[in-house]
Homo-oligomer: A and B are copies of this chain.
C-alpha cells in the first residue's frame, strides 16, 4: 500500500498518484498492460531504485489498495483539481500534487519527466481530460446543457390549431374539467359503465348530442362541431368518446342518413338527448370486415306488413355491439332483406331491444362481451334475434324499401352500388376515430415529453444527471412521433373540410382518403402510445399516469370502423380505379393499363446529380420533399398495377393476383396517405403568418418528411432515386432535427392545451 509516510518523504512520487488512483478505481489491468507499465516505470531515470520498487509494488494485483486507501487518494488529488471545465491531464494533476508536497527543486525534474509520464498515461488509454472530471464537482457538457426554450408563442400556436372551432373546444374542455368528470378506476365494470353513461348524459344536457342533427329536431346542423367534440372529449376518458360516438354518431346518424323523414321525426330528438339510447348492430361474429356477408335476415311478411328479424345461426349473432349489454333500447340492425324468398342484400332496420326498465324485448337475447383490453366503460354486447317482428316502417328506407304492394324499391338497382352507397354515408366514423386517436397521441406525448424534460438519469462523470429527453435515442423515439402527430392534425382537418363540403362526385375519393387516414392515424396512435409507455419507464406502467388507458382504449381503433389492413387495400383499389365509382370492384382491369401508361409518362426523370445531392438547403426544400413522396406514390402504384396485370395476363385468377400483391397494395395506400399528409402540412406551414409558429412548424414538417423518407430509404435506394450518401445525409439531418425540436418539444405539447384535469398524470402535471 502507498503509505502516506513514504510519499511524504518522497514527494515526487505524488506525481503518480492520479494515475494509480485511476488504474485501481476504474479498470482492471491486463497482463500485457502491466508489463508495459512496469517497463515505463523502470525507464524513469529520475526515480531512485527504492522509489521504483515502491511504485512497482503498487501495481501488484495481489495487494490491491483498500477502499479507504482509494478514498484517501481521491481526497488528496481533489486538493489540486482545476476549475470546472479545466482539461488537465492526470500528469498535470500529479505534477501539481508533487509540487504541493515537495520543494521547488523537484518541479523541474518532473517537468523534464513529463513526456515519459504522458506516455504512461497514453498507454493506459485514458482520455485525460475526461478522467479529471472525476475530481471536479461540476462537469458541464453540451448534452447536459440542452434545455427547453421558448421560441414561439404557445397561445398563438394553440389558436392556430383550434381554428374556428376554438369556442366549441373551450366549452367542451370546461365540461370535462368539471369535478363530475373525475376519472374512476376501471376495475368494476358496472360502476365504470354507469359513470360513462352519466357523463354522456351531461354532454347531452348541454346539447352536444344533437349538434349534428337538423335544426328541425333540436339540432344545430353542425357536423363540424360534432367532430370537434369527439376529438376534444378524447383528452378525457376514451370510453366516453366511444359511448358518445355509438349513441350520437353510429346510432343517431344511421337513423339520420339511412332513414327518411318519418324516422327523423320519430327518433332523432330522443337519440340526441339520450332519451333513447341505442346501438349500431352491423358486425356479426363471422362477419366483421366483410359486411356484405352478414347473415342476419329481415324477412318481409306481406300479410302483416312486418319484418321478421332473425339470427339464423350462432355465428350470425351481432357481436361487440356498443351500448347493447346494458343501456341500448333500440338498435339499427343490418340484415339481408328477404322478400318472397329473394335476397335483396343488406339493409338497415330499427329494432327494439329492451324497454326503459331494461326488460328485453320478446325474442331478443343479449350477452355481455365482458371485460376487454380497454374501453371498459362501454357495455358491448352480443345480440341474438329469434324471429323478432317489427313493423314495416322500421326499415330505414332511404336507399331501399318495400312498397305497399310488398315489392322491393330502390333508387339504385345494383346490390353492390346500393351497398357501398349506404356504407358511404357512414364514412363520418372514419373521420371521428382518427381524430380521437390523434388526440390520444397528443395526451400521450404531452405526458411523455413533459416527463422526459424533468426526469434525469445518468450524466457525465462528475457532473449532474441529465434530463432523459436530452438523450438522442429518447429524442429519436418521441420527436418524429410529435412531428407526425402535428402532421396528422392538419391532414385530418383537411379531411374533415373535404367531407363537410363534399359533392356526390368526390365521395369516392373522400372515402378513400378517410379510409387511408383512419388506418395511418390509428396505427400511428398505437405506435406513439407504445413509445410513450416505454419512454416513461415504470412510471408509464402505472395507471395513474394515464398511458395505460390511452394505449389500451385506442388499441381497437386499428380494428373498428374497418380493419386497417383491409382499409389500406381499399385505398389501393380506389387508387387503381380512381375515376371509377366502384371502388371495391375487382373485375375492372383496363384501368390498370391506363394507370400504368399515365404514370410512366408523368414520372419525373431521375437526375444523376439529384440522387446524390446532400446539402441541407436541398433536403429541407419542400419541393424536393414533396417530389420524393409523389415519386414514391406514383411508382408504387404503377408497379402494383403492372404486377397485377402481368399475373392476370399470365392466367392467374385475379383473386390470387390481388393476394400475391397484397403487401404491395398496402404500400400503395400508405404512400398515397403520406403524400397527402405532407402536402397538407406544407400548406399549413405556408399559410402560417406568425413567424415563431411558422418556424417551428416548418421544422416539424421537415422532420415528418425526412423521417418517413428515412423509413423508406431501402425503397428509395432500390429504385435508384437516392444514393447512399443521400440517405445517410437524411439520417443525419433527422438526428439534427430531433435535437433541435427537443428544445421546442415542451412548448409544442403545451400548445395542445390539454386540461391538467384530463392529463391527470402526476408525472405530467406540475404543481
Contact = CB atoms under 8 A, between A and B. Distances in A.
A463 B654 CA distance: 13
Contact of A417 (B28, B283, B564, B719): B28
A293 B470 CA distance: 18
Given A538-B288, A656-B141, A24 B413 contact: yes
Contacts of A582: 26-28
A672 B661 CA distance: 33
A181 interface: no
A457 B564 contact: no
B410 A67 contact: yes
Given A143-B659, A414-B25, A588-B27, A533 B547 contact: no
B555 A408 contact: no
B373 A589 contact: no
Contact of A457 (B125, B287, B412): B287
A714 to B, nearest CB: 4
Most chain B beta carbons < 10 A, residue from A131, A563, A565: A565
A187 B660 CA distance: 44
A232 interface: no
A626 to B, nearest CB: 21
Given A28-B581, A714-B727, A188 B185 contact: no
Interface stretch (A45-53, A68-76, A160-168): A68-76
Contact of A187 (B188, B659, B719): B188
Interface string A93-128: 000000000000000000000000000001111110
A472 B26 contact: no
A315 to B, nearest CB: 10
A357 to B, nearest CB: 27
Interface in A571-616: 579-582, 585-591
Contact of A537 (B472, B540, B559): B559
A367 to B, nearest CB: 11
A543 B717 contact: no
Contacts of A710: 714
Interface in A271-323: 283, 286-290, 293, 319-320
A649 to B, nearest CB: 10
Contacts of A457: 287-290, 293
A322 to B, nearest CB: 11
A38 interface: no
Contacts of A538: 283, 288, 319-320, 556, 559-560
Contacts of A26: 414, 416, 582, 585, 587-588
Nearest to A319: B538
B537 A555 contact: no
A66 to B, nearest CB: 6
Contact of A67 (B70, B142, B415, B655): B415
Interface string A402-432: 0000011010111111100000000000000
A414 B569 CA distance: 61
Most chain B beta carbons < 10 A, residue from A68, A369, A547, A587: A587
A447 to B, nearest CB: 13
Given A131-B587, A526-B530, A587-B461, A537 B414 contact: no
A766 interface: no
Nearest to A337: B67
Interface in A615-662: 648, 653-656, 659-662
Interface residues of A, number: 132
Contact of A662 (B67, B286, B471): B471
Contact of A589 (B127, B541, B727): B127
B735 A663 contact: yes
Interface in A312-352: 319-320, 342, 344
Contacts of A713: 714, 717-718
Given A24-B413, A724-B718, A543 B126 contact: no
A86 interface: no
Nearest to A374: B541
A370 interface: yes
A460 interface: yes
Interface string A45-64: 00000000000000000001
Nearest to A734: B663
B552 A533 contact: no
Contact of A655 (B186, B189, B293, B459): B459
Given A185-B371, A724-B719, A288 B416 contact: no
A484 to B, nearest CB: 18
A540 B580 CA distance: 35
A408 B68 contact: yes
A65 interface: yes
Contacts of A412: 64
A548 interface: yes
B126 A71 contact: no
A551 interface: yes
A126 B580 CA distance: 13
Interface string A171-196: 00000000000000111110000000
A286 B467 CA distance: 11
A476 interface: yes
Contacts of A373: 533, 540-543, 547-548, 551-552
A720 interface: yes
A541 B204 CA distance: 29
A465 interface: yes
Interface in A518-565: 526, 530, 533-534, 537-538, 540-544, 547-548, 551-552, 555-556, 558-560, 563-565
A663 B476 contact: yes
A66 B403 CA distance: 13
A656 B537 contact: no
B735 A727 contact: no
Contacts of A728: 718
28 contacts: A24-B413, A26-B582, A27-B582, A27-B585, A70-B413, A71-B342, A122-B590, A124-B590, A125-B591, A127-B589, A127-B654, A131-B587, A143-B656, A186-B371, A187-B189, A286-B456, A288-B537, A290-B465, A319-B538, A373-B551, A460-B653, A460-B655, A472-B663, A473-B662, A473-B666, A538-B556, A663-B735, A717-B718
Given A26-B582, A286-B456, 7 more contacts: A65-B413, A67-B415, A130-B587, A373-B552, A534-B563, A534-B564, A717-B718
Interface of A: 22, 24-28, 30, 64-71, 122-127, 130-131, 139, 141-144, 185-189, 283, 286-290, 293, 319-320, 342, 344, 369-374, 407-408, 410, 412-418, 456-461, 463, 465, 470-474, 476-477, 526, 530, 533-534, 537-538, 540-544, 547-548, 551-552, 555-556, 558-560, 563-565, 569, 579-582, 585-591, 648, 653-656, 659-663, 666, 710, 713-714, 717-720, 724, 727-728, 735
Per CB-CB distance, the 9 closest pairs between chain A and chain B, nearest first, are: A125-B590, A714-B714, A460-B655, A373-B548, A717-B717, A718-B724, A371-B543, A713-B714, A472-B662
